[in-house]
Structure 1
Amino acid sequence: MALNIALLDIIACPLCKNKLKLDKEKQELICTADRLAYPIKQHIPVLLTSEARTLTLDEAEKWR
């Protein structure tokens, strides 16, 4: 079972509260405002800033 796309309407970045975008290829939720990528582990979004990785400038531009 994959991540339910309807969750994207409900969940938000824990830092800035902006909407998140789904990167299906990398299984991450992207916050363009904070340039963070939150992992999706076993179909569950991990919305902890300690688990997020910082996007490179190129990656951030791709999602704008």
Structure 2
Amino acid sequence: MAKNPIPKDLFDILACPVCKANLRYTKDKKGLVCVKCNKKYPIKAKVPILLPE
């Protein structure tokens, strides 16, 4: 299983920029996905890219 790329204290405060719901890791832990609207956000160099398109 892949290690979580984002520190827990930061991960706990992240929210979807579109609908403000919680985020979870994708199965491969290379991105985040919103639990409500299913919008996906990549993680690049341990930084979540939370730009709505």
Q: Same fold (TM over 0.5)?
A: yes
Please say which structure displays the higher CA radius of gyration: 1
Matched residues, number? 49
Find the residue that maps to 2:32 and give its secondary structure: strand
Bigger RCO of structures 1 and 2 (CA < 8 A, at least 6 apart): 2
Corresponding residue number in structure 1 for 2:38: 35
Give the aligned CA root-mean-square deviation in angstroms: 1.5
2:48 maps to 1:45: yes
Q: Which runs of 5+ in 1 are unaligned?
A: 51-64
Identical residues among aligned pairs (%)? 41
The Cα offsets for residues 17-62 of structure 1, whole Å up to 9 and x where unpaired, read as: 1110012515111103112110000110000012xxxxxxxxxxxx
Q: Which runs of 5+ in 2 are unaligned?
A: none
> Of Structure 1 and Structure 2, which has the larger fraction of its residues in helix?
1
4+ long deviations beyond 4 Å: none
